Structure 1
Amino acid sequence: MRLMRIGAPGAERPVVEVEGRHYDASGLTPDFGHDFWAEGPARLAEAVAAGSLPATTVDGERVGAALPRGGALICIGMNYAAHAAESGSEPPSRPIIFLKSPATLAGPDDEVTIPRGSTKTDWEVELGVVIGAEAANLGPDDDPLAHVAGYVLANDLSERTFQIELSGGQWSKGKCCKGFLPLGPYVATPDEVDAAALRLRSWVNGEPRQDSSTSDMVFSVADLVRDLSQYMTLEPGDLILTGTPEGVALSGRFPYLQPGDVVELEIDGLGRQRQIYRSGEQS
């Protein structure tokens, strides 16, 4: 199944796509929030199989962020060796963790505002992991993937001056600008994709930037869920962003984003995003 949120900001309705057909899920759940993910996907699958959900269309409508506000937004840094290298670092021996704020969530095709005064806004295509069952202190015999409800395409946008030069050691300063997490177009349930071998790509103004595979991650999805569970309780609806491959502006090989630029991102099986960037000086 593919789970989408369709409609104007703040008024999205839950929709499920199965074999190219869309169904209105609002009779089963008001949204795909924290309370949905533990048992909701199974109930939704049963409803689709029973034919009890009304058909709907999404043509011409805005696609909202694939998750609503409410869950934790947990990010992993330098989880691709080549990206660590272009950032001037060795691959980490343990996962690097930082957080994004709820205001970063945006639709996959929403216009993005470059922060006022920013000269180093950067793109990052990433695989997102949605938690479906509570995970805490997972042991060696526990299966971390049993706690995963689905996967989603994300753009972990960064402002590198805030992140590096003004950080005070806290990367989140450069990650929390409003709209800095375009998410979606949908969450795909685990049966839809092989998260261990997904191709990730990004383009700026039609020119290729990133082209890699999740098979190149330093820490796999299972590694990350297990590791994070040692330090925090992962709850249904939480999102883990698993890191970005090489090919970002931070490398020095490409210019940072400017007003009018168009960024496109894609992960096989998880859809595509397209954002136009505008100047924060216009706000």
Structure 2
Amino acid sequence: MNPSPSQHWSPGGTVYGPLLNFQREYEIWAPRMSELPYKAPPKVPVLYVKTANTFSPSGGTVALAPGADALAVGATIGLVMGEPLPGCSQPRLSALAGCVLLNDWSVPHDSYFRPPVKTRCADGLLGLGSALAPLPEALEALKIEVRVNGVWRQTVQLADLVRPAAQLLADVSDFMTLQPGDVLMLGNDCLDDGSRPLARAGDTVEISAPGFKPVVHTVVKTAGETA
């Protein structure tokens, strides 16, 4: 059974994620950025939203989205907004409420040109860490490990971010106001071939990083199934 949401941390505001915020994936897509419809690389962060129906506490199950036979794993860190510092018009890392380990699940897809609502906002597609953690002193040195059924599949290194945490926060704040409780994810990395680790029905995925409790989910075929 899924744990009771009351026993776990849950976002108190809107959750945002950036596309193409890891160097490997950015470089893979770079040759196509001058094609239609945009004709140029993005100048500001390209964001998407994870809606409340996606929230899935660690320790439970996540169902395959309708029509999908697998889910793509998206290991990431979420910056949780706190109250702004007095006299500051923009959020700063020093004013965060904390950060959280997340699994930004998605349905495998091969385009970033259209808003990815269908691929990212099916029920349960945001695996939540069970508690907030303090912001690591050396956040960009953090490495996140992904294991499927106990087997290592990926190491996500925040040193490879296109926009490190402070820059991403500043660049997003230039065009929108982040409220206390909002969560800004740092993005998730791809594998060498541009894909992401996949999980199918029956697989258990664990995401871990130093200073955080692991985020663990088992993939099932139908919502409400038990592992």
Q: Same fold (TM over 0.5)?
A: yes
What are structure 1's unaligned runs of at least 5 residues? 1-6, 14-63
Moved more, 173-182 or 206-215: 206-215
CA distance in 2, matches of 1:172, 1:197: 31
Tell me what 2:82 maps to.
132
Distance 1:281 1:117, change over 3 A: farther
From the superposition, tell whether residues 242 and 83 of structure 1 become closer, same or farther in structure 2 (CA, over 3 Å).
same
Shift of residue 157, structure 1, vs aligned partner: 0.3
Q: Distance in 2 between matches of 1:264 and 1:248?
A: 20
TM superposition score normalised by structure 2: 0.81
Q: How many angstroms does 1:113 deviate by?
A: 0.6
1:175 aligns with 2:120: yes
Query: How many angstroms apart in 2 are the aligned matches of 1:267 and 1:92?
Result: 30
> Does residue 203 of structure 2 align to residue 261 of structure 1?
yes
- The one-letter code of the counterpart of 2:133 is A
Rg bigger for which structure? 1
Deviation at 1:127, TM superposition (A): 0.9
3-state secondary structure, aligned to 2:155: strand
SS of the residue corresponding to residue 132 of structure 2 reads strand
Q: 1:131 to 1:248 in 2, by over 3 A?
A: farther
2:49 corresponds to which of 86, 99, 102: 99
CA distance in 2, matches of 1:188, 1:159: 28
**Bigger relative contact order, structure 1 or 2, given CA contacts below 8 A and separation 6+?**
2
Higher strand share: 1
Which of 166, 170, 181 is equivalent to 1:222?
166
In structure 2, the CA distance between the partners of 1:168 and 1:93, relative to structure 1 (3 Å rule), is: closer
CA drift at 1:208: 1.8
Assess if the C-alpha contact under 8 Å between 1:209 and 1:248 holds in 2: no
Aligned residue identity for 1:123? V
Is 1:67 the equivalent of 2:10? yes
| TM-score (ref. length: structure 1) | 0.66
Q: 1:114 aligns with which of 43, 64, 69?
A: 64
Structure 2 gaps, min length 5 = 31-40
Structure 1 segments (4+ residues) deviating >3 Å? 91-94
State the SS of the aligned residue for 1:83: helix
2-side partners of 1:248 and 1:106: how far apart?
28
Residue 242 of structure 1: how far off its partner (Å): 0.6
Conserved in 2, the CA contact under 8 Å of 1:103 and 1:179?
Answer: yes
Q: 1:212 aligned to 129, 136, 156, which one?
A: 156
